[in-house]
Chain A
Amino acid sequence: MLRRYGQLAVLLALVGVQAPMMVGTAITLLLTFTLGMVFLFSPQVMAVRRLAQRHRRLVGDWTGTPIEPPYRPAPPPPVRQADGMYRSDRTLYTTPRVPAWNNRWRWLISDPATWRDTLWLLLDPAVKVALVPLFVLLPGRGLRVYAHWVDLVLGATAASRLAGQVSHLQRTRDLAADSQAAEMRRIERDLHDGTQARLVAIGMTLGAVEQLVDTDPNAAKALLARARDASSETLVELRRVIRGIHPPVLAERGLADAVRALAMDSPLHVTVDVDLPHRPEAPVEAAVYFAVSELLSNAARHGDARTATVDISANGAVLRVTVTDDGLGGADPAAGSGLAGIERRLAAFDGVLAVHSPPGGPTTATMELPHALPGAAVEASRMPRRKVALVVLLWGTAWCPTFPQGIVAGIFKIFDLEKPGWFLGLHLPEPYQWPVILGMITLGVTMHVAAMRIVAAYNREHWAPGAVPWARGC
C-alpha cells in the first residue's frame, strides 16, 4: 500500500519534468515549422521519447504488464556507393552526414508515434491531476487506470508492430539474398576455375590423340590415359562442388540420415538423436545440415573435443537443434565468421542461434527455427469452437435490435408514421417508447462491439507475439 503511494508520488513528481518539456516542445515546434530551425526538432523528439519511455517502463514494471514502445526502427546508416558518394534522393554527397540527417528527419517526422508522444505530453499532466482523488482513495486501482491511459497513448499499435515486422523481414531478406548471391559467386568460381578448365584440358588432350593415333599409337595411348585421369579428377572436383550446393545424402535421405552421415565422417565420437514427426522443407533441411556440419567441424578443429551430441527435435512448429561438445569452449559468435554464417543462414527462416561456451567448455549451440515444421501452426491459430459460436450468434442477431427495433423504429417515431407494425417500442405507452428504442440501439451496438472485441482480443493474443521482432532479441 505504502509502496503504491510512493509509486504514484513518483508519477506526480514527473509532472515537474513534463511541464517544462511541454513548453520546450511548443517552442521547438514553433521554431521548426515557422522559422525552419529544423536542427532543434530531433533532440527535442528524442528527449520526449526518453521521458515517454521512462513512463512506459515504470508503469510496466509496477503493474507487471510491460508496455511495448511503438517506435519504428531507426533507419540504417547511408550506404557508400561504388563511386564513393552517398545518395539522398537525387542529390549526391561526399560525406554520409547529410543523407543520415535526412533519413533521421524523415524517420522522426513520419512516425505517428512522435505525434502520439506529443499528444501524451500535452494531456498527461491533466490526466494525472484528474486521477489524484482515485490515487488517494484506491491507489492500486488508480495505477491500473493510469496504466490503461499510458498503454492507450504510448503503447504499440498494430501498425507499429507491422512496421517493425516489415523492417525485420526486409533485413533478413537482404541477408538471405546477400548470402545466396555470395554462394552463387563461390559456385561459379569453383565451376569456372576447376571443372571448366579441366574439361578444356581433356578436350585438348583428346584433340592431340586424334592427331597422333595413326602416326604414334603409343603416345596416343599415353595421352588417352592422361585424359582418363583428368576426367577422374574433374569428377572429384565436381563432387566437392555438389556437396557444397546440396549434399546428395540430404536429397536422398533427408535431414536425419544426412546428419548421421555427417556424424560418421566426423573424427569426433558423435551421438545423433533425431525426433521429427515430419520432414521440414528442403531449404530448412539444408540450412540445418550446414549449420550442424559447421558446428561439428568447429568442435573438432578449434575446440579439441572428443565427443559431441546432436539433438534434433520438434516442439509444435518449432524445430530445435542442439549441438553439444566436450571441447575447450570459448566460442564467440561475434568473433568466429563460421558462427556468423550460421546466423545469417538461419535468419532467412526467422531462426536464431544461441551459443553457450564458457572457457573450459562444454560448448552448447542451440538453434531454433520457429515456423520450420508444417501442421502445428495451422492448428494453433484456430479459435475455440465456443468463441466462434458466440461471435456468429452476436453477428447473426445484433442487427435486429440495432436496425428494425432501434434506428428504424426511431425514424418512424420521429416522423410519426402511422403503422406501429412489428416495432416493439411503438406498441408501448408513450413515455416508454423512446427509452425502449434507445435501449434497443444500445443493446445492438454493444453486441456488435462485443463480437468485434472477441475477435480482436483473440488476434492480439495469438498473432501479436509473432509480430514483435525485438521481443525475440534479434
Chain B
Amino acid sequence: MLRVLVAEDLYLLREGLVHLLQAHGCMVVGAVETGPELLKGLLELRPDVSIVDVRLPPTFTDEGLQAALEARRQVPGLPVLVLSQHVEQLYARELLADGSGAIGYLLKDRVFNAAQFIDAVRRVAAGGTVMDPEVIAKLLASNARHEPLAGLTPREREVLEAMAEGRSNAAISQRLYLSESAVAKHTASIFTKLGLAPSEDDNRRVLAVLAYLNSR
C-alpha cells in the first residue's frame, strides 16, 4: 500500500485529497498544513510519495515548493508531486534541476479527474516524471521559433508533448489513437531530429526531452 503525505492549507481541499487517496487504496500517513511541518514530515516519515501545495503558511509564498526542494536535497529522489493553482516554467525547471526523477508538477484542477490523478501519483511514487500539459504547452510555445523544434511534423509535436508530460509509449498510443509501433517510430524520429541519444527507459527519456526543452 502506498504511503502518502499530504500538505495543503485549505481544510476542504486537504480532506478531499485524503478521501480521494484513501478511496483509491493509498494510506495517508500525514496531512500537514504549513511549510515547516511539511519539511519535518518529509524527512521523518519518508513517504512513498507526498502531495504538496506550492503556497503554504506561514508566509503564503512558495513555502511548499521550497520545503520539497530542501527535502530532495537531503534525500535525493524523494518522490514529490507538487500541486498549484498556477504553473510556471520557472518552478518546473527548479523541480527538474536535480535530474533524479520521481517528481510531478500539476495544476490543482487535475484532481477533478480522479483516475488520471491517482495514476500520476503512482507514476511519481514509482520514480517517474509527471508534468502538467500546461507546463509543456508553455515550454513548447516559448521554444516555437527555434530550430529544430520548428522542423517537427504536427504529429511529432503531439507525441513530443505527451512524452514531455511523462507518458509511456503505451499511454501515448492510447491517447493519440496510434499503434505502439507507430509511436515508437515517431519518438525515434523526434530523437534524431533533436540530436538526442535514444533511450528505451521511459523515465530517462522524459528527463532528456525536458532537459532539452529547458536548455533553450
Interface on A for B, CB 8 Å cutoff?
A: 228, 231-232, 235-236, 239, 242-243, 248-249, 251-253, 257, 260-261, 264-267, 269, 306
Contacts and interface: CB of A to CB of B under 8 A. Distances in A.
Contacts of A257: 90
Report the interface size class on chain B: 20 to 34
Contacts of B88: 249, 261, 264
Interface string B140-161: 0111110000000000000000
B74 interface: no
Contacts of A253: 61-62, 90
Nearest to B93: A264
A243 B86 contact: yes
Given A235-B108, A239-B86, 17 more contacts: A236-B109, A239-B85, A242-B86, A248-B55, A249-B88, A252-B61, A252-B62, A260-B90, A261-B90, A264-B138, A264-B142, A265-B89, A265-B138, A265-B142, A267-B144, A269-B216, A306-B145
B79 to A, nearest CB: 23
Nearest to A236: B109
Contacts of B177: none
16 contacts: A235-B107, A235-B109, A236-B109, A248-B85, A249-B90, A252-B55, A253-B90, A261-B90, A264-B88, A264-B93, A264-B138, A265-B89, A267-B141, A267-B143, A267-B144, A269-B216
Contacts of A251: 60-61
Contacts of B55: 248, 252
A266 to B, nearest CB: 6
Contacts of B89: 261, 264-265
A448 to B, nearest CB: 55
B54 interface: yes
Interface in B106-152: 107-109, 112-113, 138, 141-145
A264 B216 CA distance: 9
A266 B86 contact: no
A267 B86 contact: no
A236 B107 CA distance: 10
A248 B86 contact: yes
B90 A232 contact: no
Contacts of B145: 267, 306
Contacts of A266: 142
**Which of B62, B89, B90 has the most C-beta atoms of chain A within 10 angstroms of its own C-beta?**
B90
Contacts of B61: 251-253
Nearest to A243: B86
A83 B97 CA distance: 63
Nearest to A270: B142
Q: What are the 10 closest A-B residue pairs judged by CB atoms, nearest first?
A: A264-B89, A261-B90, A252-B62, A252-B61, A235-B109, A248-B86, A261-B88, A232-B109, A249-B88, A228-B112
Contacts of A306: 145
A267 B85 CA distance: 23
A291 B112 CA distance: 36
Contacts of A235: 107-109
B51 to A, nearest CB: 18
A264 B112 contact: no
